[in-house]
Chains A and B, each alone.
Chain A
Amino acid sequence: MTDDAHRFHLDRHRAATELAPEHIPDFQRLLKDLCYGSRFQLLILDCRDERLRELLIARIDEVLEGRRLRPARLRLAPDDPADVPALEAVLATLAADHDAIHITGADAWLTDPRWRALNIRREAIAERAPARLLLWLTPEQVSRLPDLAPDLWAWRSGVFAFEAAPDEPRPAPERFDAAIDNRSLAQRSRRIAELRAYLAEDPPPPDDLRLPLLDELATLYEDLGEWDKALRIRREEELPVYERLGDVRSAAITQGQIADVLQARGELDAALRIRREEALPVFERLGDVREVAITQGKIADVLQARGELDAALRIRREEALPVFERLGDVHSLLITRANIALALLQRAADGDRVEANTLLCEALADARRLRIPETETIERMLAEQGMDCDATAPMR
């Protein structure tokens, strides 16, 4: 997949997360047509709900603008423009400096004679207004279109239906608890929409149902790089509930997740403060050695990112590594070894390179055994350093 296509998919899936799950398939199809279809297209959009229409237009325009396509809006009033030739003229003017034109208000404007006139002016419109024309209609108008304007219908680039959300309560989404999340971008974006729709129900679902779904939602936002949304959920929705419930461990884990987001956004000092002052003391008080070791490892990540290599190495060797060894947590262990190797390679003191090579080979052996994606990363690191595992460290 090209970078452009990858960017496009990311943008459209991000935009779709704001919608109800039932609207996503047609929304995604529409964006593909708009961004990759031909310059002139007649796109029929079936949407009765004006609020939904406005939300959709905003999301569509966001993606179009991100791809340097210029959207415009033409609001038809019953007698403005006066007739089909006048509409053609307005569209021609708009198409001169826009790539996509949303046409709203068509239900009142498009009388039967105007439909018929449009039908026979299709070539002229395509020629004079070579843009993507998004014709927003009610379901009734769409049903009449094939009879009133059969050629226009035959010319359609697509029909996209956006029905109002159902009145009955949505069923609770099933919990996602797979150890490894290998869902595609599309699945993640649909899942976000599903979670959002359920969590927005009135009255809200009970805390025991809500909290794990909020956690998954924030994680999915993080996967899509939507840091602000993830941070808001962690800070404003999850943390207050755990604090209210007196669940100090979950609150500390949430603090750690907040620090993760801050760290990803480059706010290293803020992340370090939370880990040291909000999360670590709680885990220590609770005697949760695994969470202590994980938090120490993340503190070391920040220090390493700031170039404080000796401090980072000390924490990883003395605080994290022994705990994971004791717990037999092979995955955390191999990640810690790889991180130590990285710090050593950065520091490049006498003997660091040999030790790094040994650690990387140990990590690689475990990664291969667990058949995890990190295998490839470690192999790449070794290759980049011109290292192999034959002489320095026998593969276990």
Chain B
Amino acid sequence: MTESYRPPSDILEVLQQIEYEEPLGPDDPRYVDTREARGSQRTLDRLARKLGLLLADGRMYPPRQKHVLFFGHTGSGKTTELLHYATQLEGPGRFCIVQLDITKDLDRNNLQYADTLMAMARALLHRLDVAGVDLGTDALAPLDAWFSERVLTTEAGRELRTEIKTGAAGKGGIPGLVKLFASFTAAFKANATYKDELRRVIRNSFGELAAAFNTLIQRAEDALRDTGNGSRVVFIIDGTDKLRGEDTRLFFVHDAEQLLAIETLVVYTAPLSLKYEGNLAGKLDADLMLPMIKLAERNGTPCDAGMRAVRDILLRRADRTLFATDDDIERLVQACGGHPRELLRLLKLCCEFAEDDCIDAATVDAAVRQLASEYRRFLAPDDYALLAGIDRDGIHAGNDERTRRLLYNLALLEYNDGTWRRSHPVVRTLEGYARAAEAAAETGN
């Protein structure tokens, strides 16, 4: 922990600082190394190897292209971990990391490959611009030409050009293209009329665009190597795990070939439910997962590393003096099931329930009861039966729609790269679960 950092010691300040959606950057003092706790010491190694880097000795044998999906429960810390992975993967002789968050840069409602491609191009150009890397006009020519011939001749293109007052040709070089792509991306995000027309343009001339983009990437990688900024580009695309239903299938399944036409290295965050739908395109690398923090092993033996890590996460959000006893901390740790966002949710509930500046046993009880009651609202009797069955014999229990739904809404948690599952601890406090567990014990199911 950074020496000068002190977690808030006032309940209201703790409450004020809880943001579920906030990923922790590499220097954030609230970050806790959870690799041992998750059993994910090898997750970064595996990701690096998929991209062609042997972290142990720094040897690089990158493939021409690789599109890796990075799975994990909602709120399990994918973004935070990726931010840390980026610091390990980046550097001279390694990779130049280009990060983009589609939830910020694009409208994830009805996100399509076209939007993502434009955002990737903008992010790469911006990265080059910031690094002061000059590509020369011939490297940009194919993309420039595609713009001039295909986009700027459309009504939307002409309007965009007027809006930004200068096109790629007007300003020239990387800064001009950055500006143009930024306008393009903004139009995708905010302007439904332009979006449809521009998407049509991209669909109709996708081959040309992909070739132009691939040329840009290759020339960028040459220039990055020459300037000691990394030998290959890796795009880390975050927020794609937040796509839902039809949008997920469209993006990762229906339009996967278009994504794969871009010859580069890409890591996408992906929703856990997609992993079990079984219809992913073969070329997408879909076996990397961020495991949950384990509080116990599959056989029930406590996992000290997991307990320690969750405790650390908690005590970097709320000062130890706020808790009446170590037992109260322990109970919160156990109740979250090793899920960081659920831990924050419980801590927030404690702050809401606590009278005075103290989280005691009664406060923890109230928080657990409240979170459990929120699960009770949507769990059906059959859900309890399934959860009790999974807990009873530790089987994987398949991936039918009910199981996927329970995984998605966190009533069911998955550990060790998905090799075993357990119901959420607060769900196990509910009467419906107790009855189902009793029934399962009686029938031996």
Residue numbers of A with Cβ under 8 A of B are 1-2, 5, 8, 25, 28-29, 32-33, 36-38, 119-121, 123-124, 142-147, 150-151, 153-156, 158-159, 161, 184-186
> In the bound complex, what is the Cα–Cα distance between A184 and B358 (angstroms)?
13
Instruction: Scan residues 379-430 of chain B and give those whose CB is less than 8 A from a CB of chain A.
Output: 405, 408-409
Interface string of B211-248 (1 = CB under 8 A from A): 00000000000000000000000000000001010010
Cβ-based interface call for B61 (8 A): no
15 further interface pairs, Cβ-Cβ under 8 Å (given A32-B15, A33-B352): A5-B12, A25-B366, A28-B352, A36-B16, A37-B18, A120-B110, A120-B244, A120-B247, A123-B103, A124-B109, A150-B244, A155-B20, A155-B21, A159-B374, A185-B355
B28 to chain A, nearest CB (A): 17
> In the bound complex, what is the Cα–Cα distance between A143 and B378 (angstroms)?
5
Chain B residue nearest in CB terms to A123: B103
- Determine whether the beta carbon of A121 is less than 8 Å from that of B109: yes
Question: Which residues of the other chain, B, contact A144 by a CB distance below 8 angstroms?
Answer: 378
Chain A residue nearest in CB terms to B379: A146
- Determine whether the beta carbon of B357 is less than 8 Å from that of A1: yes
Interface string of B142-157 (1 = CB under 8 A from A): 0000000000000000
- Determine whether the beta carbon of A32 is less than 8 Å from that of B12: yes
Cβ-based interface call for B199 (8 A): no
Given A120-B244, A184-B356, A33 and B15 touching (CB < 8 A)? yes
Chain A residue nearest in CB terms to B243: A120
- Ordered by A's residue number, 25 sampled pairs between the chains whose C-beta atoms are within 8 Å are A25-B366, A29-B353, A32-B351, A32-B352, A36-B12, A36-B16, A37-B15, A38-B19, A120-B108, A120-B110, A120-B244, A120-B247, A123-B107, A123-B108, A124-B107, A124-B109, A143-B377, A147-B378, A147-B405, A153-B378, A154-B75, A158-B348, A158-B352, A159-B377, A161-B373
> In the bound complex, what is the Cα–Cα distance between A184 and B355 (angstroms)?
9
Question: Which residues of the other chain, A, contact B109 by a CB distance below 8 angstroms?
Answer: 120-121, 124
Chain B residue nearest in CB terms to A187: B355
A16 to chain B, nearest CB (A): 12
Given A32-B12, A124-B109, A154-B74, A119 and B355 touching (CB < 8 A)? no
A-B pairs with beta carbons under 8 A, tally: 73
Question: Which residues of the other chain, B, contact A25 by a CB distance below 8 angstroms?
Answer: 353, 366
> In the bound complex, what is the Cα–Cα distance between A86 and B352 (angstroms)?
33
Question: Which residues of the other chain, B, contact A38 by a CB distance below 8 angstroms?
Answer: 16, 19
B119 to chain A, nearest CB (A): 15
> In the bound complex, what is the Cα–Cα distance between A145 and B356 (angstroms)?
33
Question: Which residues of the other chain, B, contact A185 by a CB distance below 8 angstroms?
Answer: 355
- Determine whether the beta carbon of A151 is less than 8 Å from that of B242: yes
> In the bound complex, what is the Cα–Cα distance between A66 and B19 (angstroms)?
25
Residue numbers of B with Cβ under 8 A of A are 10, 12, 15-16, 18-21, 74-75, 103, 107-110, 242, 244, 247, 348-349, 351-353, 355-357, 366, 370, 373-374, 377-378, 405, 408-409
- Determine whether the beta carbon of A29 is less than 8 Å from that of B377: no
Question: Which residues of the other chain, A, contact B351 by a CB distance below 8 angstroms?
Answer: 32
B303 to chain A, nearest CB (A): 26
A73 to chain B, nearest CB (A): 24
Chain A residue nearest in CB terms to B110: A120
> In the bound complex, what is the Cα–Cα distance between A154 and B73 (angstroms)?
12
Question: Which residues of the other chain, B, contact A124 by a CB distance below 8 angstroms?
Answer: 107, 109
- Determine whether the beta carbon of B108 is less than 8 Å from that of A29: no
- Determine whether the beta carbon of A153 is less than 8 Å from that of B16: no
Chain B residue nearest in CB terms to A148: B378
Contact of A29 among B74, B247, B352, B373 (CB under 8 A): B352
> In the bound complex, what is the Cα–Cα distance between A186 and B20 (angstroms)?
28
Question: Which residues of the other chain, B, contact A158 by a CB distance below 8 angstroms?
Answer: 348-349, 352
Q: What 3 pairs between A and B have smallest CB-CB spacing?
A: A29-B352, A146-B378, A186-B355
> In the bound complex, what is the Cα–Cα distance between A255 and B109 (angstroms)?
68
Chain A residue nearest in CB terms to B375: A146
- Determine whether the beta carbon of B352 is less than 8 Å from that of A146: no
Chain B residue nearest in CB terms to A144: B378
> In the bound complex, what is the Cα–Cα distance between A154 and B409 (angstroms)?
8
> In the bound complex, what is the Cα–Cα distance between A186 and B353 (angstroms)?
11
A340 to chain B, nearest CB (A): 37
> In the bound complex, what is the Cα–Cα distance between A318 and B253 (angstroms)?
96
B352 to chain A, nearest CB (A): 4
> In the bound complex, what is the Cα–Cα distance between A121 and B366 (angstroms)?
32
Question: Which residues of the other chain, A, contact B366 by a CB distance below 8 angstroms?
Answer: 25
B356 to chain A, nearest CB (A): 7
B250 to chain A, nearest CB (A): 13
- Determine whether the beta carbon of A150 is less than 8 Å from that of B409: yes
> In the bound complex, what is the Cα–Cα distance between A262 and B10 (angstroms)?
37
> In the bound complex, what is the Cα–Cα distance between A185 and B374 (angstroms)?
28
Of the listed residues A28, A36, A145, A158, the one surrounded by the most CB atoms of chain B closer than 10 A to its CB is A36
> In the bound complex, what is the Cα–Cα distance between A159 and B378 (angstroms)?
13
Question: Which residues of the other chain, A, contact B19 by a CB distance below 8 angstroms?
Answer: 38
> In the bound complex, what is the Cα–Cα distance between A151 and B20 (angstroms)?
13
> In the bound complex, what is the Cα–Cα distance between A75 and B442 (angstroms)?
51
> In the bound complex, what is the Cα–Cα distance between A147 and B405 (angstroms)?
8
Question: Which residues of the other chain, B, contact A184 by a CB distance below 8 angstroms?
Answer: 355-356
- Determine whether the beta carbon of A153 is less than 8 Å from that of B409: yes
Question: Which residues of the other chain, A, contact B357 by a CB distance below 8 angstroms?
Answer: 1
Question: Which residues of the other chain, B, contact A159 by a CB distance below 8 angstroms?
Answer: 370, 373-374, 377
Chain B residue nearest in CB terms to A120: B109
> In the bound complex, what is the Cα–Cα distance between A184 and B75 (angstroms)?
37
> In the bound complex, what is the Cα–Cα distance between A178 and B307 (angstroms)?
44
> In the bound complex, what is the Cα–Cα distance between A37 and B75 (angstroms)?
19
Question: Which residues of the other chain, B, contact A36 by a CB distance below 8 angstroms?
Answer: 12, 15-16
Chain B residue nearest in CB terms to A126: B21
Question: Which residues of the other chain, A, contact B374 by a CB distance below 8 angstroms?
Answer: 156, 159
Chain B residue nearest in CB terms to A184: B355
Question: Which residues of the other chain, A, contact B21 by a CB distance below 8 angstroms?
Answer: 155
> In the bound complex, what is the Cα–Cα distance between A167 and B16 (angstroms)?
38
Chain B residue nearest in CB terms to A84: B109
> In the bound complex, what is the Cα–Cα distance between A153 and B408 (angstroms)?
11
Chain B residue nearest in CB terms to A117: B109
B53 to chain A, nearest CB (A): 33
> In the bound complex, what is the Cα–Cα distance between A89 and B427 (angstroms)?
38
- Determine whether the beta carbon of A146 is less than 8 Å from that of B15: no
B441 to chain A, nearest CB (A): 28
